[in-house]
Structure 1
Amino acid sequence: MPRPKDPHREDTSTFPNSVYRETVLRPLFEGAKAHHLQGFRRIDRAHLVMLVETGILDRTQGVAIARALETIDTEIDVSKLQYTGDVEDFFFLIERELKNRLGPDLAGRLHTARSRNDIDHTLFKLGLKERIDKLLGKAVNLVGTLIDVADREKQTIIVAYTHGQPAQPTTFGHYLGAVIEVLFRDIERLCQARDVVDQSPMGAAAITTSGFPIDRERMASLLGFSRPLQNSYSCIAAVDYITATYSAIELMFLHLGRVIQDLQFWTSFEVGQIYVPNAFVQISSIMPQKRNPVPIEHLRHLSSQTFARARIMLDVMHNTPFTDMNDSEGETQEVGYETFRAAGRTLDLLNALIEGIRINETHVRENIRRSCITVTELADSLVRREGLSFREAHEIAAIVAKAVVVSSGDITEDGYSIFREAFVHSVGRTSSIQEAEFSRIVSPEHFVEVRSRFGGPALQPLREALKGYRAQLEAASETLCGNIAREIAAAAELDRQFQFLLGDA
């Protein structure tokens, strides 16, 4: 027996269904208002200019449409618009407003040789380029701070850890040099992703371009793209501009998260290798003695949030069809924008923290004394000066280190007598190394000084490295400034050409 008709059930023949309107169409409309309003305006104006320049529209038609677009921008306060379902999306709202002012025939001519498909991906690329440039600016700024601090701390001794244990002395400048090199590679990956984003989809139309004599190069130029993306199917189906961008961000913040974890470890009471100034310290509400470097915890979770949000974007793209699809569009793009927000906060905070922290040299000296981490150089010196094999020298040095650590001594003051006895017992003769020379050999300063090979922590190779880093920084800054200048120039050219049309109105 058929179910009786529910008089309150919605008529499914009328678009849009109310649930679909509230769960999909309204959020997409609000997202377009919030994130893509300027992009829509730029695309409409650039497409109109191109249509007139190619003769697809005559100048009279172009002038009328330009005037209507200008009137819409002046008369409609987009921030106050509420989605009603009268039109499907923001694109059709603008088309409706054009029809109200121009009539359906002339208004409809603006959409000649384009589709929502190429418009959408162009919108998303415009939004990504702007965000990538801001993020690159913050990353470049962080590199500059890291270089300055590395230069300042190029002779500041720290304990380098392996497997969570004290390993060898190095300098804070040398450690930061490693961070700088990774960050440069991360910036390079993000720049490569930007180049993928910087290829215009406009002119692909639905997926196969158009029979009209459009000028894709001109369209790309007016919108600030370096060039059009060649294959029109790729313009619509390929989402590697998304995956390239978020893969690069994912790696950058995975790598920065490891550095942040080191900073957290180094601020522990037991290690105390770095001092965090009071401006970055919060107190306990109950324990008066506590100095909590809470910003480092915020850095850790912000970098993890950035990593996770970037990973979400890759997961959403996984196993999607190689064609036009909604998976890569509006709401997914909004999720991605939150990645940039968290990323920017992380870079700003890390930049400020790195500039402010200092090495606690007293704690470093004590940790070096307790851990006997300079003893590797004793073994190396025995090879060079006494002609021993490294294994034999290593065994003598191990005896010295073990005895000093067990007695809670200081190798520079308490190690020589142990060394002499171990050397005679192992080699059968007295070492030529005297006590003063022994103390120098096992000092952290000497340890760093003799490691003067390419890439080492000694002053000369570190100075050379810093010089190279500054050259890389200058090149990265020039690239970033060049990209921004091209965007500004394109916006100015588009405005000139659009105003030229308006001037005939």
Structure 2
Amino acid sequence: MSDPRLSDTSVFPDPTYKETVLAPLFDGAKQHHVEGFRAIDRAHLVMLAETGILDATQAAEIARALDSIDAEIDPSALVYTGEVEDFFFLIERELKKRLGPDLAGRLHTARSRNDIDHTLFKLGLRDRLNVLIEKALALHGALIAAAEREKSTLIVAYTHGQPAQPTTFGHYLAAIIECVGRDIERLFEAYRIVDLSPMGAAAITTTGFPTNRARVAELLGFAAPLENSYSCIAGVDYITATYSAIELMFLHLGRPIQDFQVWTSFEVGQIYVPNSLVQISSIMPQKRNPVPIEHLRHLASQTVGRAHAMLTVMHNTPFTDMNDSEGETQALGYGAFASAYRVLDLLAALVGQIRINTDRVRANISRSCITITELADSLVRREGLSFREGHEIAAAVARAVVAMEGDLVNDGFGPFTEAFRSATGRDSALDRAAFAEIVSPDYFVAVRTRFGGPAPEPLSAAIDGYRQHAAGLAARHDDLLRRQRDAAQMLKERFDALKGAA
């Protein structure tokens, strides 16, 4: 049998491979990673010059050629032709045009597309995480402001879809604040993993040249180099950590969004959405549709789905450098960021504007008897009953009031006196006024002064703590951004100095 290699006259790239793989990858690189390529080339060149791997004349000529490429080529206008394999080789080809193959090729000393690619992807994720954290902090702040504004505003709290107990809207929002705060912490933990530079790993095992990996990391604004060189090109936990954090955040946000949808329904009517966030039916003029909440719900779900898709792509892949974690997969993940930004912006706007329909809330509290738990508790404290005795008396009162479709405050005292006498064989010391106070929603909230409760004292203390946490998170992010700005300035200065060093 003849060796097929001897008769192979095909020329790279195959037209179908070009259209289905190479062209989309090229378009993705020019759309998402041009600035990253530029920064990596410059940082690597500065390091090569500082370590003496390139002399001053060589470094200066390469620096000036990189500048001319930037000035003369608009990446957004490029169309993939197949003349070069990808965007990386396009830049190398342009360097060869200006410098010749020998000097142009020296920029690639001690590096590989493997470490370049993962550094590119980390830079792309870092930039997007910066935006995501900024928007998440803005939502966190909007929730804190709303909780302060609504800390005394009564609402119905639900369990299993049914009215359960009264609390305040501020107390409910505080629960969301705590979840969002923890989700932001998870974003920072993902950021910590992203913030380690793979540059210098080269293909797998670093290099025999005297490179300085820490210097490249510093110039690119990373916290440090990622230590193990195999991990630099094989470990995708920076991807899974990022998208796991995103998936969890938007899964969690979808739950209060669903509450808001239910609470705006005509039958519940607990939340009022202002006209600026309401669309009117095209055929039914009486309808006020809080459509932005629906968009929040499906956009949050889209974000969860897109983030989870990234984890699915990473599943069961080999522990090595592979295309599964590279260009097109990275572009897929960016869609999760895009929808995430929209959710965070819109939800922050919504919580700043919605208000509680207090009349409807009080009516719902009254007819659902949801303050009855406090009657049972008060009978324990004031009458010396066991909780089970108090619970049974309170249950009898609730059944009677609901049966008559009455109001617990105004109609419950009679059933209470009968139930108490039947259960204990004596009259209660509570008169009508004391009974009315005990079963009022204001009293229900006011006596719940324990840590984490809705009463003014613990809730105000909690909100103060949330503000401090938010300030700490913001300061932490400011420090990261400052380091990256300083690194960008340092890289610019060192690169500009190279150009005049010859």
After TM superposition, the score normalised by the length of structure 1 is 0.97
Match of 2:273 among 268, 272, 276: 276
Shift of 1:13: 2.2
1:392-436 CA deviation, whole Å, 9 max, x = no partner? 110000010011111111111111111011101100111011110
1:12 and 1:163 map into 2 onto residues whose CA distance is 70
1:293-336 CA deviation, whole Å, 9 max, x = no partner? 00000000000000000000000000000001000000000000
Which 4+ residue blocks in structure 1 deviate beyond 6 angstroms?
none
1:382 alignment partner in structure 2: 379
Shift of 1:504: 3.1
Match of 1:75 among 55, 72, 77: 72
Letter in 1 for 2:48: L
2:366 and 2:40 map into 1 onto residues whose CA distance is 66
Look up the SS of the partner of 1:340 in the other structure.
Answer: helix
Q: How does 1:54-203 map to 2 (within 5 A)?
A: 54-203=51-200
Q: More deviation in 39-48 or 408-417? A: 408-417
Match of 2:16 among 9, 15, 19: 19
RMSD after superposition:
0.9
1:484 and 1:139 map into 2 onto residues whose CA distance is 16
- Counterpart check, 1:401 vs 2:398: yes
1:401 and 1:203 map into 2 onto residues whose CA distance is 72
1:365 alignment partner in structure 2: 362
2:264 alignment partner in structure 1: 267
1:288 and 1:339 map into 2 onto residues whose CA distance is 36
Look up the SS of the partner of 1:242 in the other structure.
Answer: helix
1:132–1:12: structure 2 CA closer, same or farther, 3 Å change rule? Answer: farther
1:378 and 1:370 map into 2 onto residues whose CA distance is 16
1:4 alignment partner in structure 2: none
- Counterpart check, 1:243 vs 2:219: no
Letter in 1 for 2:253: L
1:496 and 1:436 map into 2 onto residues whose CA distance is 78
- Counterpart check, 1:311 vs 2:308: yes
2:430 and 2:91 map into 1 onto residues whose CA distance is 86
Letter in 2 for 1:266: W
2:9 and 2:173 map into 1 onto residues whose CA distance is 63
2:469 and 2:333 map into 1 onto residues whose CA distance is 29
- Counterpart check, 1:473 vs 2:470: yes
1:184 and 1:149 map into 2 onto residues whose CA distance is 15
Letter in 1 for 2:144: I
1:336 alignment partner in structure 2: 333
1:40 alignment partner in structure 2: 37
Query: Tell me, which stretches of 5 or more residues in structure 1 are unaligned?
Result: 1-10
1:414 and 1:262 map into 2 onto residues whose CA distance is 31
2:411 alignment partner in structure 1: 414
Letter in 1 for 2:208: G
1:365-417 CA deviation, whole Å, 9 max, x = no partner? 11001100000000000001111111111000001001111111111111111
After TM superposition, the score normalised by the length of structure 2 is 0.98
- Counterpart check, 1:349 vs 2:350: no
Shift of 1:12: 6.2
1:180-235 CA deviation, whole Å, 9 max, x = no partner? 00000000001000000000000000010000010000000000000000000000
Letter in 2 for 1:61: Q
Letter in 2 for 1:219: V
Query: Quick one: percent identity of the two aligned structures?
Result: 69
1:69-104 CA deviation, whole Å, 9 max, x = no partner? 001111112121111111100000100111111111
1:8 alignment partner in structure 2: none
2:435 alignment partner in structure 1: 438
2:21 and 2:113 map into 1 onto residues whose CA distance is 17
1:471 and 1:317 map into 2 onto residues whose CA distance is 37
1:463 alignment partner in structure 2: 460
1:7 alignment partner in structure 2: none
Match of 1:426 among 420, 423, 435: 423
Look up the SS of the partner of 1:324 in the other structure.
Answer: coil
Letter in 2 for 1:241: Y
1:435 and 1:213 map into 2 onto residues whose CA distance is 88
Aligned residues: 496
Look up the SS of the partner of 1:169 in the other structure.
Answer: strand
1:469 and 1:47 map into 2 onto residues whose CA distance is 43
